[in-house]
A = this chain, B = another copy of it.
Amino acid sequence: MDIQATNIPAVDASGPDVVGIEATPDAGVQHCLQLLGNAGLRPTRQRLALGQLLFLNGHRHVTAESLYEEAMAANAYLSLATVYNTLNQFTEAGLLRRIAADGIKSFFDTDTSVHPHFYLEGEDMLVDVADGLAFTKIPEALPGHEIARLDVIVHLRRKRT
């Protein structure tokens, strides 16, 4: 079935959901409403739909394009431009973290903590590094500056056989 189409927590006695909303849909919607409220963003239909896709399914790595297609598949009608705008707003609000893996497109990570990623060059995919990378020291920022972000990206390529 479709994701919530209104910002009013609708009564919805549905079964398994294609977009992965958890057992009690209302709880998910409530959670998203709260995230939007805290961020000072109006709970519009579009933002709520994207919020549900992003924040009710564990940690995720999406691109604007992939999220847009996912929304279409879930029958959430919105434009690609709105997806871009919303991703930027969510990022500004600290709900997402933007990751520039390859210099072509941006990924958005629902895990906003500082953690390293694998970037699979052929597949154009971003994957969390389970463990195995640690710093002993983090550098001082240059005078007059502060650290805004620390990106660690391990580029992987298919091993040639």
Interface residues of A (CB under 8 A from B): 98, 100-106, 116, 118, 120-121, 127, 129-142, 144-159
Stoichiometry (number of copies): 2
Task: Collect the chain B residues with CB atoms within 8 Å of residue A139's CB.
Answer: 116, 118, 129-133, 154
Seed contacts A132-B138, A141-B156; 19 additional CB < 8 Å A-B pairs: A100-B103, A100-B104, A103-B104, A103-B105, A103-B106, A116-B139, A121-B148, A127-B142, A129-B139, A132-B137, A132-B140, A133-B135, A134-B135, A138-B154, A139-B154, A147-B156, A150-B154, A151-B151, A152-B152
Q: How far is the CA of A120 from the CA of B141 in the complex (A)?
A: 10
Q: Is the CB of A137 within 8 A of B133?
A: yes
8 Å CB contact of A136 from B104, B136, B140, B144: B136
